[in-house]
Structure 1
């Protein structure tokens, strides 16, 4: 890669990072997600303390909010790619950065750079709260198991965010993207999970951080779950880039 090409990519990445970190809705979403996670962690921990806490894993209780937590990251991904269309800023972006493929690719990379540390902090906060409150009653865990679980949960939320951003780029409208994704993750998938294949994004991705039950058939390993969710994400990102390059702003 030439120096000029490398500098071009770096400049585009910097511009996309700057747009994301200066967008108020991004920070409101992240702060709201963090607060929601603490509230849910407190609720699940309290329920665990009042029930059979001695037989429960701290990790399971600390991660019990993941099903709800992903909503914040779905919204984050959609806002990252749809926000420029709301006020017509996309025209300014494409005038300044005419290389559409690079621009959208760097937007997803910038989103990943922001999401990874934030997702880790939010996930770890729930586990840490459960650990502090249930250290004398709940079943403990090994440090390496905790690290693998936190990394898996962080990876799941990051890939979910990028997949949502790609779908947002395809639809270019915030409301339809929210309706489709939230409807799938919180209505369609829970209702059909007992008989649907395990290769859909949310189902496969859940194996990245939650150990499968011993009575499950055709369970996936964390690496298989990661690979499947990553494949879904790459497919939607590729489709978003192809359509982004071919159609008008």
Structure 2
């Protein structure tokens, strides 16, 4: 029975991976995000060179595109779950794989498998480009700090993608999910800086930023990278759990 269950999970995971890899919009979104990140990295690096930035500023400049980069991963997560509802393919999926909880869980796992390397490469490309262009001003360059920031950025983008996928499963439609999430990340959350300064640090986007933004001499991060990771993981698990519960109870 244990071997049969493991084989079943493996087959479902493989099927979900195949579906995600063969979706044209998934590849286009990742490629578009990569190109956008390089463009933003070049823009921020050019501005940094004119300001004669130092080592700490170099890292911040390399990660400056994260604020806009996350939009591509939000879109990626929503497309991964909403694409099957567009043409009614979800009925075929549920006919082939009637175990809804397993099927949606494996979709999230498959999405994480794809997102992790993509997030690492995209985040690293921005940092690497900035370092190459600003190597003459990078005095006292510390590889450990860069690695920690890169790991945090990769984790943040991956968790953001999974949270977005859960929201996509709840809405089951691409446009409403995009409006809600992009509206929150780019409109609502920035407006709460003055209204909810204490609670804002525990919002998904703000807590996630502490995963990769190193503390500066002038300002101390409210959360440590470990605490920030725990907060964002908690948000992600809450939405994933809600998505699975509604997925099992609703009609296709």
Asked if Structure 1 and Structure 2 have the same fold, meaning a TM-score greater than 0.5 normalized by the shorter chain, the answer is yes
TM-score scaled to structure 1, two decimals? Answer: 0.96
Moved beyond 3 Å, runs of 4+: 212-218
Query: Aligned residue for 1:100?
Result: 100
Q: CA shift at 1:171, angstroms? A: 0.4
Matched, 1:246 2:249: yes
CA–CA separation in structure 1 for the residues paired with 2:18 and 2:217: 46
User: Residue 208 of structure 2 is aligned with which of 191, 205, 209?
Assistant: 205
Contact 1:120–1:151 (8 Å) recurs in 2: yes
Contact 2:167–2:243 (8 Å) recurs in 1: yes
Larger displacement relative to structure 2 (43-52 or 132-141): 132-141
Matched, 1:70 2:74: no
Could you say what secondary structure the match of 1:202 adopts? helix
Question: Structure 1 34/131 Cα, relative in aligned 2: closer, same or farther at 3 Å?
Answer: same
Residues 76-99 of structure 1 show CA distances to partners (whole Å, capped at 9, x for unaligned) of: 000000000000000000000000
Query: Aligned residue for 2:240?
Result: 237
Structure 2 gap ranges (5+): none
Could you say what secondary structure the match of 2:98 adopts? coil
Query: Aligned residue for 1:147?
Result: 147
CA–CA separation in structure 2 for the residues paired with 1:188 and 1:213: 26
TM-score scaled to structure 2, two decimals? Answer: 0.95
Query: Aligned residue for 1:4?
Result: 4
Contact 1:75–1:178 (8 Å) recurs in 2: yes
Query: Aligned residue for 1:222?
Result: 225
Q: CA shift at 1:211, angstroms? A: 1.9
Larger displacement relative to structure 2 (43-52 or 137-146): 137-146
Could you say what secondary structure the match of 2:251 adopts? coil
CA–CA separation in structure 2 for the residues paired with 1:24 and 1:34: 16
Length, aligned pairs only: 249
CA–CA separation in structure 2 for the residues paired with 1:34 and 1:140: 29
CA–CA separation in structure 2 for the residues paired with 1:58 and 1:129: 10
Residues 160-203 of structure 1 show CA distances to partners (whole Å, capped at 9, x for unaligned) of: 00000000000000000000000000011112124421111000
CA–CA separation in structure 1 for the residues paired with 2:219 and 2:52: 23
Contact 2:156–2:209 (8 Å) recurs in 1: yes
CA–CA separation in structure 1 for the residues paired with 2:130 and 2:14: 37
Superposition CA RMSD, Å: 1.4
